[in-house]
Amino acid sequence: MTPILILIFIFILGTIIGSFLNVVIYRLNSGRKIVNDSSMCMSCGHKLRWYELIPVVSYFIQGCKCRKCRSKISAQYPIVEILTGLIFVAVSVKFLPFLMFSFWLYVAYVSLYLILFSLLIVMFVYDLKHKIIPNKLVFPFIFLSFLTMVINLMLFGNIFSWVAILDILAGIIVALPFALIWLFSKGRLMGLGDAKLMMGIGWMLGI
């Protein structure tokens, strides 16, 4: 299989995951199950068939509308699917040098960062819609970011160096200004969820 075909396959896989992320965004804290619950039109309740659930393609083939009631379908669906597909490709390309060391190391790193970015996508869109970042999303992100930082230090750095110490403190350092804004404004200017998110980003990116 040529590299172009591999990237196309990865993009398609990303759009499929993006479709699932849309389900998470809509159903989180709604009382509906994330899995084992049929997808349906938000306007008329029409249960969607498999050919109405093809990522990106179904949205445009149906003219951006429900096939039954013709109500407009949110552009969020294809945007999240395409964005996820592009991020899957970008992350896969970013870690290609790891293949020189180990195929399984490459797979592990790509998988870990794809989970991190998937969580970020869901938090971003959910926050846009509801103006809140749920703990059930941000806490796993913080944990995985910290785990990523520790793995990076153990494999590629000196965990006892000053740089490593700064990376270990990065989450707290980056989150502190946001936490102070939340504290002194009593939550009027910024929610505490933003500080939690920045803690995860600090550990994900390092100082």
Q: What is the pLDDT of residues 43-85, one digit of tens each?
A: 776 787 777 788 999 889 888 888 778 888 889 999 999 999 9
What is the three-class DSSP state of 3?
helix
Q: What is the pLDDT of residues 159-205, one digit of tens each?
A: 667 778 888 899 999 999 999 999 999 888 888 999 999 999 999 99
CA 202, CA 175: separation in Å to the nearest integer?
7
- 22-51 mean pLDDT: 78
The single residue listed with the structure tokens 């398609």 is 12
Question: What is the reported pLDDT for 66?
Answer: 80
Q: Which residues contact 17 (CB under 8 A, 6 or more apart)?
A: 84, 88, 114, 118
Is pLDDT at 157 greater than 90 in this prediction?
A: no
Is pLDDT at 89 greater than 90 in this prediction?
A: yes
| Residues listed for the chain | 207
CA 90, CA 98: separation in Å to the nearest integer?
14
Task: Assess contact for 123 and 137: CB atoms under 8 A.
Answer: yes
Q: What is the pLDDT of residues 102-155, one digit of tens each?
A: 899 999 999 999 999 999 999 999 999 999 999 999 999 999 999 999 888 888
The single residue listed with the structure tokens 């993009």 is 11
Strand partners, 65: 72
Question: What is the reported pLDDT for 1?
Answer: 62
Task: Assess contact for 137 and 122: CB atoms under 8 A.
Answer: yes
Residue 54 CA, distance from chain mean position: 20
CA 194, CA 178: separation in Å to the nearest integer?
7
In one letter, which amino acid is 170?
A
CA 146, CA 167: separation in Å to the nearest integer?
10
Question: What is the reported pLDDT for 28?
Answer: 87
Question: What is the reported pLDDT for 180?
Answer: 95
- The pTM is what? 0.89
Tokens of 160: 């006892």
Question: What is the reported pLDDT for 34?
Answer: 75
Residue 95 CA, distance from chain mean position: 18
Question: What is the reported pLDDT for 162?
Answer: 75
